[in-house]
Chains A and B, each alone.
Chain A
Amino acid sequence: MAEEKDGCVKPAAGPIASPGTDELTITKPEVVKVQARVGREAPDFEANAYVIGEGFKQVKLSSYKGKWIVLCFYPGDFTFV
């Protein structure tokens, strides 16, 4: 297996404001609104990630545009289900 890289020096951007969205409403947690709806565009974001065989990198959801994507949230590493 190739040596894994450390690419995590710069923190990932987190939620990415869609055009026309007031940037401030995204960064203030008290006004963050759920944006995910079926039939609507997926809210974009950038996140720090670990990829086996590659190491640490930043992953932007929209970089997978053009492919089918399954995004799975789960409560925590080292848990049971």
Chain B
Amino acid sequence: MHKEFEDLDVTVLSMSTDSHFVHKIWQEEELSKMVDGGVPFPMLSDGGGKIGDLYGVYEEMAGVDIRGRFIIDPDFVIRAMEVLTPEVGRNPKELLRQIKAFQHVVATGEVTPSGWEPGDVTLTPGPALVGKVWEQWKP
């Protein structure tokens, strides 16, 4: 899975309120047994939740950062965010789809309709398209 992020030239960073020391042991004791060679991205520590606070994901009652993920573009602008309560895991396929869509939008100036996948029809916004989307795209 990480190879797909590399192919899109995306840097992945993970962050929790655990210390970097705990990250090391988690890598060694568990993650390296789930993923060959361990998880390859930097594992960041947000002790005290100050960074989670800035991103709106720090849960003070529990003292942890909840499951939030942010796509940041090369101009350092946040393009997308998704925040879940802890019980439900993420969908990396949807994350990859969104990255591909944003990369396409930045490269071409086109926009991607609902559910867009690479190769699907895109739209070029402008006065000529108003009221005519139905001619080019149907859900």
Q: Which A residues form the contact surface with B (CB < 8 A)?
A: 8, 12, 14-15, 29, 32, 34-43, 45, 47-52, 56-57, 59, 61-62, 64-79, 81
Contact = CB atoms under 8 A, between A and B. Distances in A.
Main secondary structure of the interface of B (DSSP, over half): mixed
A42 B71 CA distance: 10
B51 A14 contact: yes
A67 B51 contact: no
Contacts of A79: 86
A50 B78 contact: no
Interface in B51-74: 51-57, 59, 62, 64-74
Given A52-B27, A59-B44, A15 B20 contact: no
A70 B77 CA distance: 12
B11 interface: yes
A68 B10 contact: yes
Contact of A36 (B23, B46, B56, B88): B56
B48 to A, nearest CB: 8
B99 A34 contact: no
B56 A70 contact: no
B80 interface: yes
